Amino acid sequence: MSLTDIKSLYKDELTELLVSRGQQKFRSQQIYSWLHSKSVTSFEDMTNLPGKLIEDLRSICYISVANIEKKLVSSYDNTIKYLFSFSDGEYVEAVVMDYRHGYSMCISTQVGCKMGCTFCATGQGGFTRNLTASEMLSQIEAAQRDLNIRISNVVLMGMGEPLDNFDNVVRFLRLATDSEGLSIGARHITLSTCGLVPKIYELADLGIPITLSLSLHAPTDEIRSRTMPVNKKYPLSEVFKACRYYADTTGRRVTYEYAMINGVNDSDDCAHQLAHRIKGTLCHVNLIPVNPVQGTGYNPSKDKRMTSFINVLSKYNVNATVRRTLGSDINASCGQLRGKKLKDKGGV
C-alpha cells in the first residue's frame, strides 16, 4: 500500500482520514496546524499527539520535505537560488528575492516540462513528473526555515508548466492561501503559463484572485510557433481571448512576459504588431532580455533595441517595463542549475 501524502490533504479530507482510523475529529485541527502553520517535517515533532497516533500516522502517511541540495547567494542583490531534492531523488529549482515590500519566491510546479519552448533550459530537458501540492508548499517552507523569514509573495514561474499540472496547482493555491496555513494572500500569488487556453478559462472560473502572467514572447503566430510549439495548438487569437476573459472575470490585470531575443522577436515591427494586438486591454508587458541557454543559439537583445521597442509600445499607451534581472551571477533562467546537477551525476 502506498503512503498518503498528508500535507496535500484539505482539512476535511484529513478529518475523514482520521475518523476512518477511529480518531476524534479535533485531532485533525491539531495535525493540520502542525503541518501548515508550524511546517513541521516529522510526525515526532507533533508534540501534543499521543504516541500511538503518531505511530499510526507513520504507518499510513508521509510528510513531503524539500531538501536543500545547493544554495547560491547572489553577490549583487541577495537573490538566493535553491536546488531542492525530493524523496525520489528528483530535483527542482526555486529562487528567493528580497524586495523592499517583503520576500518573494519563485517555485517550480513540475520536474521538467512537456512544452518544449526553444529558448528554455527546462523545456530542453523534457518532462519527468508533476509535483504534488505538498511539494510546492515544501519549497516555500524550506526557504522560510533556512532563512528565518516569511515569504509574502509567490510566483509559479520556476520549472514546469503550472496549468499542465492543474489539479495539484489548484490544491496548492487553496492550501497556501488558507489563513490557517501559510496564509499567503491570493493577490500575492502569480501564475505564469505558456497559454494552455482551456485551463485559463477554468482558472478564471475558480474565483481565486491570483495574477495571471502569460508567456507571450512573440507578436505573431508565425514567430511564436517557431519558439513555442504550444502555439500550434492554441494560437494567439485564442490565447488573447482567454486572457481577456481572465481579466474580465477576476478584475486582475494580465501580465505579458516577453523575452527579447536578438534578431528573432525584437524589431520595431514586432513592437507595432504587439501593440495592435493588446492596446486598450487591461494588461502590462514585462520585457526581459532572454537568458542565453547553451545550445539554443539565442542572444539577448541589446539595450538600445529594448529601449526602441518600449518606445513604440508607449506610443500606443501600452504599459511596459524592462524587468531587472535579479541574481544574474548565480542563475541564468530556471532549469539551468538542475541541468548542471544532472551533468555532475553523469546524466543529460
Max alpha carbon distance in the chain (Å)? 69
Quickly list DSSP for 34-99.
HHHTS--SSGGG-TTS-HHHHHHHHHHEE----EEEEEEE-TTT--EEEEEE-TTS-EEEEEEEEE
Cell numbers that stand for 321 in this block = 517595463
Which listed residue (151, 259, 287, 318) binds ligand SAH by CB under 6 A?
A: 259
The verdict on 104 binding ligand SAH (CB under 6 A) reads no
Which listed residue (120, 275, 318, 330) binds ligand SF4 by CB under 6 A?
A: 120
Type and span of the H or E element at 106: strand 102-106
The verdict on 213 binding ligand SF4 (CB under 6 A) reads no
Rounded Cα gap, residues 247 and 245, in angstroms: 6
CB of 158 or CB of 219, closer to ligand SF4: 158
Identify whether the C-beta of residue 213 lies closer than 8 Å to the C-beta of residue 190: yes
The verdict on 290 binding ligand SAH (CB under 6 A) reads yes
Catalytic residue among 113, 117, 120, 334: 334
Quickly list DSSP for 167-184.
HHHHHHHHHHH-TTTT--
The verdict on 113 binding ligand SF4 (CB under 6 A) reads yes
The residue sitting closest to ligand SF4, measured at its beta carbon, is 123
Identify whether the C-beta of residue 95 lies closer than 8 Å to the C-beta of residue 80: yes
SS in 3 state form for 279-298? Answer: CCCCEEEEEEECCCCCCCCC
Binding span for ligand SF4 by CB under 6 A among 47-55, 85-93, 111-119, 171-179: 111-119
Binding span for ligand SF4 by CB under 6 A among 47-55, 81-89, 116-124, 132-140: 116-124
Binder of residue 64, out of ligand SF4, ligand SAH, none (CB less than 5 to 8 A by kind): none
Please give the residues from 216 up to 275 whose contact with ligand SF4 meets the rule CB under 6 A. none
Site string for ligand SAH, 179-218 (x = CB under 6 A): -------------xxx--------------------x---
Measured from the CB of residue 59, what is the shortest distance to ligand SAH in angstroms?
37
Binder of residue 239, out of ligand SF4, ligand SAH, none (CB less than 5 to 8 A by kind): none
Amino acid letter at 21?
R
Binder of residue 15, out of ligand SF4, ligand SAH, none (CB less than 5 to 8 A by kind): none
Q: How many residues form the binding site for ligand SF4 (CB under 6 A)? A: 11
Closest CA to 156 of 194, 197, 119, 116: 194
Catalytic residue among 93, 135, 141, 257: 93
Measured from the CB of residue 163, what is the shortest distance to ligand SF4 in angstroms?
9
Q: Is residue 93 flagged as an active site residue?
A: yes
Binder of residue 142, out of ligand SF4, ligand SAH, none (CB less than 5 to 8 A by kind): none
The verdict on 162 binding ligand SF4 (CB under 6 A) reads no
Identify whether the C-beta of residue 200 lies closer than 8 Å to the C-beta of residue 246: yes
* 20-52 exposure pattern, b = at least 16 Cβ within 10 A, e = fewer: eeebeeebbeebbbbbbeebbbebeebeebeee
Residue 118 CA neighbour count, 13 Å, CB half: 16
Q: How many residues form the binding site for ligand SAH (CB under 6 A)? A: 16
- Which residue's entry shows cell 548565480? 330
- Which residue's entry shows cell 502517511? 61
Identify whether the C-beta of residue 60 lies closer than 8 Å to the C-beta of residue 80: no
The verdict on 161 binding ligand SAH (CB under 6 A) reads yes
CB of 104 or CB of 193, closer to ligand SF4: 193
Residues near ligand SAH (CB under 6 A): 113, 119-120, 157, 161, 192-194, 215, 257, 259, 288, 290-291, 293, 333
Annotated catalytic residues are 93, 334
Positions that interact with ligand SF4 (CB under 6 A): 113, 115-117, 120, 122-123, 160-161, 194, 215
